[in-house]
Each structure stands twice: as structure tokens, then as C-alpha cells.
């Protein structure tokens, strides 16, 4: 995993977890430019012991307004 600057606060949540699969969300505000947020959707494949054996990260940079639009769109699905 990439080491982030010590002043960055990363917020993380598990969106879905089931046998063999987990979807995590990681986000933080960029140091520069201000007002831009990094959003990672991390898809993890789990083995029979629940350990990650493969993962894919989908990374987006969004403004606060774009995050609100994304949240509202997801709520309508």
C-alpha cells in the first residue's frame, strides 16, 4: 500500500463483505489542489480463510459537489 503523508486523514469503510468478496471505500482530501478528494473503490477477492488473495483499486478524483452527485445517484439505484 502507498504511504500517504502523515497529515492526511484517510476515511475507510467496508461497503460489502461476503464469502470470497469485499468492497472497501477509502477517501481523503488532497493536499493540493484544495477541494479535490481522492476516492478509491477497492475490490478484494478473499480465500477460504478470509485473506485477500487479489485486489483491484478504482481511483477517482472528485470535488465535493461531484461527491454529492455520486452519493445522490447511488441512493437512487
What pLDDT, on a 0 to 100 scale, did the predictor assign at position 73? Answer: 97
What pLDDT, on a 0 to 100 scale, did the predictor assign at position 23? Answer: 98
Residue 1 above 70 pLDDT?
Answer: no
Residue 15 above 80 pLDDT?
Answer: yes
The half-sphere exposure of 36 on its side-chain side, counting CA atoms within 13 A, is 8
Summarize the confidence of residues 63-70 as an average pLDDT: 96
Chain segment 41-59, per-residue pLDDT in tens: 999 999 999 899 999 999 9
Domains in the chain with CATH codes: 11-75 (3.10.450)
pTM: 0.82
Which positions ≥6 away from 27 have C-beta within 8 Å?
A: 10, 11, 12, 37, 38, 39, 40
Residue 5 above 70 pLDDT?
Answer: yes
Amino acid at each position: 500500500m502507498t504511504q500517504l503523508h502523515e497529515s492526511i486523514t484517510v476515511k475507510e469503510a467496508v461497503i460489502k463483505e461476503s464469502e470470497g468478496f469485499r468492497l472497501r471505500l477509502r477517501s481523503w482530501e488532497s493536499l493540493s489542489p484544495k477541494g479535490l478528494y481522492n476516492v478509491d473503490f477497492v475490490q478484494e477477492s478473499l480465500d477460504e480463510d478470509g485473506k485477500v488473495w487479489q485486489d483491484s483499486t478504482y481511483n477517482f478524483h472528485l470535488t465535493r459537489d461531484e461527491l454529492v452527485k455520486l452519493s445522490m445517484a447511488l441512493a437512487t439505484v
